[in-house]
Amino acid sequence: MNVSDSVVRTLHQLLLQIADIKSQIERGPRQIKAAQLQVDTSKDFLQKCRDSIKQKKMEADRKQLQLREREGKIHDWEGKMNSATNNREFQAIKEQIAADTQANNVLSDEILETLEEIDALQIASKDAEEKLKIVEADKVKVDSAVAERLATLHRELARVEGNLAAEETALPADFLVDYKRLVTNRAEDAMAALDDVSCGGCYTGLTPRILDKLRMGQPFLCSSCGRLLYRPEK
């Protein structure tokens, strides 16, 4: 049973091509997933901005209601102060008005700060909307480019697999079964070119007798790694 180096070498090259094409095909969905992740992240950020704006507006409304209620109480206290019957009652009402006025000043500052936060969030939300438009447009481009690339790769894969099948017809029938089992289990890693006088896969040294067999076209599996060995092109 003889198998020429050129046949095994060609088979290995085709298997390596197939592995490379399949690797490129596998990258396609990962690129789409990465682009979708950008879209999802942008959407999440935009929604958080919108939720924060809603929350801050509710907070501002609540504080403004508190402010109006306390202003009403101050007005009531002022009316009671004018009708106070003694100095002690007058002083107590005056102190209450001062405390409520101070509390309202603090509340007014908090309302102003909340409104400023809303303005900042609205700017961030607008920026997030623009960012989302950009990443969504990029996602469309990635989808289109990947779909086109995958179509090309699948055509190329079919062509190379066809070439491989054609080359395999040159293998002796008594070797084809072992070859198929080896390739099924290890694909492109099923073979290795000689590295001088060593296996090019695991670098185990080969004896002169094995090298002579390879020169005579007799298939040989490396006793260390199990790869089908062949001599590289001179």
> Which residues have C-beta within 8 Å of that of residue 84, sequence separation ≥ 6?
90, 93
Number of domains in the chain: 2
Are both 136 and 201 inside the same structural domain?
no
* Residue 34 belongs to domain with CATH number: 1.10.287.1490
Q: Of the residues 152, 170, 188, which one is the last residue of a structural domain?
A: 170
Predicted confidence at residue 84, as pLDDT, reads 79
Predicted confidence at residue 127, as pLDDT, reads 97
Q: Of the residues 170, 187, 211, which one is the last residue of a structural domain?
A: 170
Structure tokens at 124: 């961030």
Predicted confidence at residue 234, as pLDDT, reads 72
Q: In tens digits, what is the pLDDT along the chain, a chain of 234 residues?
A: 577 888 899 999 999 999 999 999 999 999 999 999 999 999 999 999 999 999 999 999 999 999 999 999 999 888 888 887 888 888 988 999 999 999 999 999 999 999 999 999 999 999 999 999 999 999 999 999 999 999 999 999 999 999 999 999 888 888 898 899 999 999 999 999 999 899 999 999 999 999 988 888 888 899 899 999 998 887
Predicted confidence at residue 82, as pLDDT, reads 82
Are both 166 and 65 inside the same structural domain?
yes
Predicted confidence at residue 109, as pLDDT, reads 96
For residue 10, being part of any structural domain is answered with no
For residue 176, being part of any structural domain is answered with yes
Instruction: Decide the pairing of beta strands 228-230 and 198-199.
Output: unpaired
Quick one: CA dihedral 174, 180, 182, 183, positive or negative? Answer: positive
* Alpha-carbon span 196 to 20, nearest angstrom: 26
Domain that holds residue 139: 19-170
Structure tokens at 129: 């909307």
CB 222 within 8 A of CB 231: no
For residue 224, being part of any structural domain is answered with yes
Predicted confidence at residue 3, as pLDDT, reads 79
Q: Of the residues 153, 170, 187, which one is the last residue of a structural domain?
A: 170
Predicted confidence at residue 1, as pLDDT, reads 59
